[in-house]
Structure 1
């Protein structure tokens, strides 16, 4: 029945998606697939209609409505980068509200007791939960991506255009450096590859060169998965513009279709995110109640990097998470020692290496769990199962290994050539960082620490003690994998994971920690103190990761426009990223606001210091495009009263004292409380007093005036008179 139910859902989704694309795009798409999907829907109908007429009619209506809305949701999603962007922006709220309302309505009417809503909600069909899990990350307006995933983003278009994995059509004219002119350089953004002639070709680190082709440096599986999603979407009429080229020899043209293929990446990532979460839910349901399983699934989905990283970008972490969850699902099955499941387990374990080489440690530990399960079997049966699992391991070795060898000349694929490129650039070993700094940063740093961003993980370690018999097999893999990852990435020269959010390098391990939350959660039902701690840690964890997606402040804290080095940002407790949305309210309580350019998005050039503050030089080219603003406007909440503004600035050299260089504006809506223009003669006065007549939201603007360069190190606003 479930298969029929899902077939009907898929058929209606395809129909409504295809028709929506036809209508919005003016019937410019072929209609053949509409007929095909209609056929799926009608076939499913006739198979299903004899399952009780009354129940069938109810299911058909509810399923039909949700299916149609889902199809429209998918279509509108891909209109977002186009002139039809408002369609999705308006429809997504309606769609999510319909899903939630229908879920709560059904949950209440099952027993008509408010106290049972939560329990009944957890027992809803997997389809409803899957759609909710899928719609939340896809509804995020922000487009967050990484250079690491460029291969995964572009492979679908390369396959469509040329039928190969060569990305040379997107990155043209890579610089050629003659062997006589070559000198190692530890620049991590551009690395070299040596040509057969002895000369060198220079390219971004996420690409590698082999036999005249530019290929992705990272594993191919994310790109192949993205290709499957891409071509499936094309069948229902979704149009995604092929990206333009980037000239590597110059600043050249940017990819004009960048939003389109990042929308595709986020769609694919969100789909994998939802599939993994649902599979985890099904796995935990084998050993716990539906309510407990749902709680753990939601914490895993929205309280870890599974949401803030995996759901938005096609890094390799998402696939490792999926493989771990799939392995756990099989281990929790009652009949895991059947040949079919053993073969599948072997295939899963064999894929780890081809997704992310360090994860082979995880695969090996899970393999030991499998061997332990065989210890009591007769020798003959044990040998048969070992041979079957070996056959499963052999399948990815032959397919993915051969694919790597054919395209990269090595079974490791792009990773092998990337390591050679880093060695040529003067970095033969990237694991050269301070080990203890890296381990501390991964676990407890305010900028990236696992226990700071997901404190709920701390309670997972309770799973090591009141061990449930069914999850005891996870203790050794979790403990040893965690120690191995800390050892490897603690020594990485960028242990924070580059331009990412929270503890990206430990994302692979989140499924282990999620399942090991089970003892803490079940104990918390009866222990008030533990329940309080569990709820508190859950709120912090979920806020830390969801605020990064739905609020500007946490995400901007880590953007490239910030001028403070990441290593320094990582250890600033006063600027934990997910506390940034509350920063606007601090002045209301403290009566003080300190604005430093080093913490704000700006385009100035570093220019020493003023006092103990880092200063930047601003000229006409340094202002934010389309305005006179030196910094983006800063909004904060102030109480009414008398204030002192202290500005830290100077000019580069003596100028006409009457030249205007800066303007400080402090306003509430159309009310101006301070409009102070600073001239070149900044030595006379840098403190100004003003009054705020009404408590509330206040905007601070810093504007560049005239052509005279100015060196600016920020300003402070303090309640009271200037000293």
Structure 2
């Protein structure tokens, strides 16, 4: 059997979407199952939006409840990430939204505070890091609904017991923590617990909250007003539930800031903070009176909301994989580029296409004969490498021809320019052949772009050349080399085991 290395909460909540096809005998290779992933993810997020609205409608005016639900559904990673595929985030958001709804209902009927234990426990088994959100809410129930605490604990037991049973049966330990094993492209590499928290807090907070590559307040600046709502909760007679939700939000942000992969890998925007979106959207309700009475605040709300929706629509409807592959190789610098990020790039590409069309510019698609380029090595590549070690070479590619290099956002691959690399020994290609990476943006004549070639060193010891070149797709399975290639010499040393030394 295949067993999920991730917590199973998301799979459990998606199960009803898949059961009919399985029962009806649909082939496992059918495209239906790929479509069901999108359908289930979108439906789960839609249900969470409904619960956010129902909770907000009990604490604020109907227009404000609808407004903050609009923000939650379209101005956050709910649209750009959670509704697009079965990440853990969508089911975790649904569970948190259900818990918020229960705790709001408890103001009129205390029994609902006990019911909140079920969705909170489900949130934790869906995404264990959300224990930092569930714990303050459990404390809230203990302090303000003490008589319901046993109902709360009883309701929380089924999801928790299921996860303990699952881990014990399939992995041999009920307390197994999935994330101590970090997958790599060559298998699995065990990461010591101390190595999971290597990001400095200041740098992690800056990336997670402000950077144009991953910042929560860049992709959903409407949350600036949510922060104000959470602060207002601490005033005299402020909303007690919001106080505890705010504590959970702060703890989660600090956790993500210290995580060794604050960027969240190949994803869109602040994916790692997606679980906070129910809290941040709900925290807007204390501002209802101020928005109605202060025109400046209403205008600011509208502008921030418009940017949030536009930014996340970019993630939902425009591909961003090429940008991720380019940016994450130098995340410290490229996550902070204000003119080259997943929000700006679609507009930039549209502007470039307009320039090309109106100026009747020659491109790598219609004028391959006018292509020319130069490559320069930026870093000092290693002269020696261990067998199987990753060799990383940064280069700067300059368009010195008369045609625009087209990036990889076009549906037609013809004319797309890419950086390619392959290992050679004595002039012959070795290993798995050529690897490549497409440009993520167009490059006009006279402009440059920084790229990376990344390859695993061959297993056999010896002297090799890593050949690096630029090429454009001319037609199917036919390409044209652009400019002169580079050759980076690397010597692969014998492994310690084969040399007789202790491994």
TM over 0.5: yes
Query: Within 5 A, what are the aligned runs for 1:545-556?
Result: 545-552=312-319, 555-556=320-321
Shift of 1:296: 0.8
- Whether the 8 Å CA contact 1:410–1:416 is kept in 2: the answer is no
Shift of 1:515: 0.9
Structure 1 residues 416 and 465, CA gap change in structure 2 (3 angstroms):
closer
Counterpart of 1:615? 397
- Whether 1:225 aligns to 2:10 is no
Residue by residue over 1:626-650, the C-alpha shift from the partner in whole angstroms, topping out at 9 and shown as x without a partner, is 74642579999xxxxxxx943779x
Question: SS at the partner of 1:577?
Answer: coil
Alpha-carbon distance between aligned partners in 1 of 2:415 and 2:219, rounded to the nearest angstrom = 37
Question: SS at the partner of 2:323?
Answer: coil
- Whether 1:566 aligns to 2:331 is yes
Counterpart of 1:303? 75
Shift of 1:576: 3.2
Structure 1 residues 240 and 271, CA gap change in structure 2 (3 angstroms):
farther
Alpha-carbon distance between aligned partners in 1 of 2:190 and 2:310, rounded to the nearest angstrom = 43
Counterpart of 1:410? 173
- Whether the 8 Å CA contact 1:308–1:545 is kept in 2: the answer is yes
- Whether the 8 Å CA contact 1:432–1:493 is kept in 2: the answer is yes
- Whether 1:347 aligns to 2:118 is yes
- Whether the 8 Å CA contact 2:113–2:141 is kept in 1: the answer is no
Residue by residue over 1:85-107, the C-alpha shift from the partner in whole angstroms, topping out at 9 and shown as x without a partner, is xxxxxxxxxxxxxxxxxxxxxxx
Alpha-carbon distance between aligned partners in 2 of 1:563 and 1:233, rounded to the nearest angstrom = 38
User: 1:463 pairs with 221, 229, 234, which one?
Assistant: 229
Q: Which has the higher contact order (CA 8 A, sep 6+)?
A: 2
Shift of 1:277: 0.6
Shift of 1:426: 6.5
Residue by residue over 1:445-467, the C-alpha shift from the partner in whole angstroms, topping out at 9 and shown as x without a partner, is 11110111100000012213554
Counterpart of 2:218? 452
Question: SS at the partner of 1:322?
Answer: helix
Alpha-carbon distance between aligned partners in 1 of 2:64 and 2:483, rounded to the nearest angstrom = 64
Shift of 1:545: 0.3
Question: SS at the partner of 1:332?
Answer: helix
User: 2:286 pairs with 501, 519, 533, which one?
Assistant: 519
Alpha-carbon distance between aligned partners in 1 of 2:115 and 2:440, rounded to the nearest angstrom = 54
Structure 1 residues 607 and 494, CA gap change in structure 2 (3 angstroms):
farther
- Whether the 8 Å CA contact 2:217–2:224 is kept in 1: the answer is yes
Shift of 1:428: 5.5
Question: SS at the partner of 2:101?
Answer: helix
- Whether the 8 Å CA contact 2:232–2:238 is kept in 1: the answer is no
User: 1:576 pairs with 324, 341, 352, which one?
Assistant: 341
Query: Within 5 A, what are the aligned runs for 1:315-326?
Result: 315-326=87-98
- Whether 1:443 aligns to 2:209 is yes
Shift of 1:265: 1.3
User: 1:399 pairs with 147, 162, 176, which one?
Assistant: 162
Q: Aligned-pair RMSD on alpha carbons?
A: 4.2
Structure 1 residues 708 and 373, CA gap change in structure 2 (3 angstroms):
closer
Alpha-carbon distance between aligned partners in 2 of 1:470 and 1:633, rounded to the nearest angstrom = 55
Counterpart of 2:417? 630
Shift of 1:365: 0.5
Counterpart of 1:509? 276
Question: SS at the partner of 2:227?
Answer: helix
Structure 1 residues 417 and 711, CA gap change in structure 2 (3 angstroms):
closer
Alpha-carbon distance between aligned partners in 1 of 2:158 and 2:22, rounded to the nearest angstrom = 29
Query: Within 5 A, what are the aligned runs for 1:330-341?
Result: 330-333=102-105, 337-339=109-111, 341=112
Counterpart of 1:499? 266
Counterpart of 1:646? 446
- Whether the 8 Å CA contact 1:422–1:428 is kept in 2: the answer is no
Alpha-carbon distance between aligned partners in 2 of 1:391 and 1:298, rounded to the nearest angstrom = 34
- Whether the 8 Å CA contact 1:308–1:549 is kept in 2: the answer is yes
Question: SS at the partner of 2:314?
Answer: helix
Aligned residues: 403
Structure 1 residues 480 and 613, CA gap change in structure 2 (3 angstroms):
same
> TM (normalized to structure 2)?
0.69
Structure 1 residues 356 and 562, CA gap change in structure 2 (3 angstroms):
closer
Structure 1 residues 264 and 605, CA gap change in structure 2 (3 angstroms):
farther
Which structure 2 residue ranges, 5 or more long, are not aligned? 364-372, 380-393, 400-406, 419-437, 450-469, 488-503
Structure 1 residues 470 and 509, CA gap change in structure 2 (3 angstroms):
farther
User: 1:357 pairs with 128, 132, 135, which one?
Assistant: 128
Alpha-carbon distance between aligned partners in 2 of 1:360 and 1:634, rounded to the nearest angstrom = 38
- Whether the 8 Å CA contact 1:218–1:414 is kept in 2: the answer is no
- Whether the 8 Å CA contact 1:630–1:704 is kept in 2: the answer is no
Shift of 1:267: 1.2
Alpha-carbon distance between aligned partners in 2 of 1:403 and 1:662, rounded to the nearest angstrom = 50
- Whether the 8 Å CA contact 2:327–2:335 is kept in 1: the answer is no
